Amino acid sequence: MTYIDPHIHMVSRTTDDYERMALAGCVAITEPAFWAGFDRSSPQGFFDYYRQLTDTEPKRAAQYGINHHCWLCINPKEAEDVGFAREVISIIPEFLDHPTVLGIGEIGLNKNSKNELIILEEQLALAEKHNRLVLVHTPHLEDKLKGTMLIMDAVENTSINVDRVLIDHVEEHTVGAVLERGFWAGMTLYPNSKCTPQRAADIIEMYGTERLWINSAGDWGPSDPLAVPKCRHELASRGHHAETIDTISYKNPLDFLSKSGRFSVE
Amino acid sequence: MAKINTLMPLKPTCPMTHKETVDRYFLEHRAKLLDIAAFLDRLDRCESIEQDYRIDSLHKCINVLLEKNVGRTEKILNILSDHSKEPINVAHEQGASGAPKQTDL
Ligand SMILES: [Zn+2]
């Protein structure tokens, strides 16, 4: 069976990972723009990153039969300097017509600060203006609950339809509110923080599969590019139907990403 | 504290039997429990014993494990969350510690 990993940072991974993912059944991925582990020193650094996301990575993925799409933004960790962030945001429109750019992401909050919120709102306005999908990063650990609520409020203050927004990194204390308010929800499978494959399977058992997906969010930190097939295995070994597993790891990502009018697994 | 309404069902939703679930996961979680016990013992053996908000939160979470209702994971995550509502003035750091500095729970 094939799967889609809708959130993974392949710029931080080796080509061997593409091969392993292909062997495990991965046919498509989407890569949101994120924090590189250090703050970039200039907007030009982001320009080059967007070139890497729109040009280099699709070619690297294609060697293994994996379709690559991306999301562009300035991430919340680099949004505290509003002037700098606005310079970066001004670069984004020239990339938005690229055929593999699905929308704005992963935008959101990190420490739930006033400046992070201003830049979030300005990037939501960009998505609104260009009628693009939105992929949302929610804060880590103790900041997640508050940040998730602030982000959902910010989206609801725009004309963006909530079913065109995916709120990522949900856990047991946020998934219910995200789904109840009509958003899509993503569960990130991380070894030490966020969800393990077991807890993701538990959440699927408690909340069902509607508007819910799983992703590895593999990056430069402790993470696992094969987390999605491992969660599929966890579900299968508990006795869940193939249809449930296919819905969470293929059909749901396909349905949400196809709203962009640009996504395909071909 | 804000109560988050969840859609969590009260009916059985795990396809495995109770025995199958215990057989499959018991040893793994026995080991995790011993890790927590050893961590607390290690803290007791430190030269100076200090109060730490993260360990205070951990003690509150351990009490939740003994509760007999559903939703322990959500409850623990809520103990480990900042429940303030307003954005902070300035982000002075980029990281998170895993527990709120002041908890209203
Ligand atoms: Zn990410």
Question: Cβ-count burial of B3 within 10 angstroms (0-12 exposed, 13-18 middle, 19+ buried)?
Answer: exposed
Q: Does B93 touch chain A (CB under 8 A)?
A: yes
This complex has an ipTM of 0.95
Check the CA dihedral B97-A171-A265-A163 and report its sign: negative
pTM of the model: 0.95
Query: What's the confidence (pLDDT) of residue B1?
Result: 40
Q: Does A238 touch chain B (CB under 8 A)?
A: yes
Of B73, B91, B97, the CB nearest to A142: B97
Shortest Cα distance, chain A CAs vs residue B95, angstroms: 8
- Check: CB of residue A230 under 8 Å from CB of residue A188: no
Residues of B in contact with A206 (CB under 8 A): 7-9, 13
Query: What's the confidence (pLDDT) of residue A170?
Result: 98
Residue B102 confidence class, pLDDT cut points 50, 70, 90: low
Query: What's the confidence (pLDDT) of residue A194?
Result: 81
Can you give the residue ranges of every domain in chain B?
Answer: 18-80
What region, left, alpha or beta, does residue B86 occupy, with left being phi > 0 and alpha being psi -120 to 50 degrees? beta
CA of A36 to the centre of ligand 1 (A): 10
How large is the average pLDDT for residues A12-34?
Answer: 98
How large is the average pLDDT for residues A87-109?
Answer: 98
Q: Domain A3-258: which CATH class?
A: alpha beta
Can you give the residue ranges of every domain in chain A?
Answer: 3-258
Whether residue B85 and residue A146 make contact (CB cut-off 8 A), yes or no, is: yes
Task: In whole angstroms, give the CA distance from residue A130 to residue A262.
Answer: 14
